[in-house]
Amino acid sequence: MSATNEESQSASKSPTGEEAQPTAAAGVGAAAGGRTFRDLFRGDLGFVPVLVTLAIIIIVFQILSQGDFLTARNISNLSDQIVTVGTVGIAAMLVLLLGEIDLSLAAVSQCCGAIMAVLLVRQGLPASLAILGAVVVGALIGLVNGFFVAILRIPSFIVTLAGSIAYAGLLLLVLQPQTTLQIRDRGILDINATHYQDAIMGYAVPLIGVALYAVALFYNRSRRLRAGLKVGGIGGLIVRIVVLLIAVAGAIAIFQSNQFNGGIPQSFFIWICLIIIFWLILTQTAFGRHVYAVGGNAEASRRAGINVVGLRIAIFTLASSLAAVGGILQVSRGTAADSQINPTLLLNAIAAAVVGGVSLFGGRGSVWAVVLGAIIIGGLENGLNLLGQGQEIREIVEGIVLVAAVTVDALIRRANAVQGR
């Protein structure tokens, strides 16, 4: 393929990583405007199959648990359980969008959580400085990973696999001579313990978030129209906004009705804020568009003037920084830093991104996919726990779901390639 053709192919990518074909306009509601059934599964977020999967999981566990799955207390517990996986899942998503992989995220997460604990307990630093120190260490680790991958051109699989081993050793070194370091600082513990019940944080802010999402959708639609690009019907946008509004209102009602610790958990609120921030970065900035372009075709992006090396370093740095935030949230929830790496954290983080619709091959996916993927993965674990199933069954089921998600992604890409999309 010539350079001109490659650049043309890359240019046909939308900021969400989808190819801007006339029959593949964004929005589920555009199906009535000439889109085929397959196009529904090729939207910018891939929401249809993911939502169907989530609905099946909810129905099955609600029936098998005799109504316990959708109780306010269990939903609140589930929201606490998924924030660490969801935060590390954002990091995994960023790297996957480039067509790379980061196997060190779990080790970085727990290592930075331990560094925060040591700075807090042994060095006597205030919570804010301990958190900042942990995030800075995470960013430096990502910078090192990015240097080897982007500048020395070593495969990310090898670099991050070696990093995972090294950072696990660093974790042991940081916590020596202890294997567990207990946290008693309220500034850290309150990250997980605090629940927003007031009118502003508990009700107004989530609804304002929905309003901003709606404004962004209509703004993007008008911008595409001015550029002469194909867009979906207005009904599709309205359906998405209404569905999101119902979901947010339902979540608020569940959180506020919880008789044990009512209100939106602060850790969950932080995670959603991170989701919104990176959604804006990826969809509303040149940096975000460059991420999708490089993931779709790195060579064409380089010839188009994109700083591919700098972009890769930046993404690995952001990914490890987010992993550090995930480690801080985990320490807050567990009230201690542990020297044992969570064996399922990396799998679940990558699974959350892939199950939600992020492609393993780069250039396609959305940060909102992590939300749905994390809820699916967390819901599976939570539901199987309610049914009294052991760790072995949970891991088997999660593995099957992950393979199914990757299979669907591969089949969709193959179908697109056959049709020249």
- Read off the pLDDT of residues 77-100 as tens digits, 9 standing for 90 and up: 888 889 999 999 999 999 999 999
Least confident window among 58-62, 90-94, 240-244, 385-389: 240-244
Residue with token string 């053709």: 5
Confidence of residue 164 (pLDDT cuts 50, 70, 90): very high
CA 30 distance to own-chain centroid: 26
Number of Cβ atoms within 10 Å of the Cβ of 196: 21
- Whether 255 contacts 263, CB under 8 Å: yes
What pLDDT does 294 receive? Answer: 94
| Cα distance between residue 90 and residue 366, in whole Å | 10
> What secondary structure does DSSP assign to 292-358, as a single string?
HHHHH-HHHHHHTT--HHHHHHHHHHHHHHHHHHHHHHHHHHHTEEESS--TTHHHHHHHHHHHHT-
Q: Above 80 in pLDDT, residue 421?
A: no
pTM of the model: 0.81
| Ranges 32-41, 338-347, 405-414, most confident | 338-347
Percentage of residues in the chain having pLDDT higher than 70? 81
Q: Above 70 in pLDDT, residue 373?
A: yes
Q: Above 90 in pLDDT, residue 66?
A: no
Residue with token string 């740095």: 317
Give one word for 182, left, alpha or beta, with left for phi > 0 and alpha for psi -120 to 50.
Answer: beta
Arithmetic mean of pLDDT, 154-158: 95
Confidence of residue 261 (pLDDT cuts 50, 70, 90): low
- For residue 375, the enclosing domain spans 3-418
- Would you call the peptide bond into 22 cis, given omega within 30 degrees of 0 as the criterion? no
Least confident window among 2-6, 165-169, 200-204, 243-247: 2-6
- Whether 92 contacts 105, CB under 8 Å: yes
The total number of structural domains in the chain stands at: 1
